[in-house]
Amino acid sequence: MAEFPKGVKNLINAFERLPGIGPKGATRLVFYLLNTPKVYVEDLATCLVKMKTDVKICKTCFSVSEQDICSICRDSNRNIRQICVVEKAIDVMIIENMGGYKGVYHVLGGVVNPLEHVGPDDLRIDELIQRVKSFLTNSDMSGDFEIILATNPTMEGEATALHIKKRLEGLKIKISRIGSGLPIGADLEYADQATLSRALEGRKDI
C-alpha cells in the first residue's frame, strides 16, 4: 500500500486522538481538508488556536468562559443558593439549552474512576466543599441551600455523587440527585431534553 505523505499522516494521527474519531474518520477528514480552499483551512487553524488562548476556565464554577468569571456566575438573576454539580463543562451547556434551570453550576472535571487512576483529589471536589462552606459562612442563610448532584447515572457517576455527599455531611444543606427517567449508564450529553428536564425536576433528596 502506498504511504501517505508525512503531512497527511501527521494530521490523521492528530484527528485520531479526538473522541469518537477512528482511523477511517480521521482519514476522511484529512482528505476533505485537502480538497478544501486554503482560506477555510487557515480559518479553522486560527479558530483552534484562538479557542485555546481566549477561552478561560471560570474561577468560580470551572466552566468555560471568555472572562475570569463566566456569564452564568456573573448573572445576578441566577440563584446562587442552588449549585448543580456536573462532570464536564459540556453538561453545563446541555442543561442551559434545556432551559428552566436558574441556579449555578460546579464543574468537577470528570468522575472518580479507579481504572483510569482518577481519584477524588483529581477532581474539583475540594473547591466545591470550600465554595459551599464559604457561602454558608458569608451569607445570612435566609432560604435553602441546595446541591444537585448531576453526574451521569453510570457506576463512576454514582460513586462520585456518593463521595461528594459524604464530604458534605454535617453541613446544613439539602443534597439531591438527578436520575429519575435517565437510563442507568446514560450520559447527560446524549439524553434528550425532555428526559433531562424530567430527571432534573424529579431529583430526589439523598
Using CB under 5 A, list all residues that contact Zn ion.
58, 60-61, 70, 73
Q: Looking at beta carbons only, is 15 or 88 nearer to Zn ion?
A: 88
How near is the Cβ of 51 to Zn ion at its closest, in Å? 18
Comparison of 30 and 149: residue with beta carbon closer to Zn ion: 149
User: For residue 174, what are the contacts with CB-CB under 8 A and spacing of at least 6?
Assistant: 144, 145, 146, 147, 205
CB of 131 to Zn ion, least distance (A): 11
| Alpha-carbon span 195 to 164, nearest angstrom | 24
Q: DSSP secondary structure string, 96-138?
A: HHH----EEEEE-SS--BGGGTB-GGGTTHHHHHHHHHHHHHH
Cβ 148 vs Cβ 128: under 8 Å: no
Minimum CB distance to Zn ion smaller for 58 or for 84 = 58
Shortest CB 94 distance to Zn ion, Å: 16
Question: Burial letters for 90-127: b for 16+ Cβ neighbours within 10 Å, e otherwise?
Answer: ebbebbeebeebebbbbbbbbbbbeeeebebeebbbeb
C-beta closer to Zn ion: residue 58 or 182? 58
Q: How far is the CB of 104 from Zn ion (least distance, A)?
A: 7
Nearer to Zn ion, 60 or 82 (CB): 60
Distance in Å, CB of 185 to Zn ion, minimum: 29
Best CA proximity match to 197, nearest among 115, 97, 77: 97
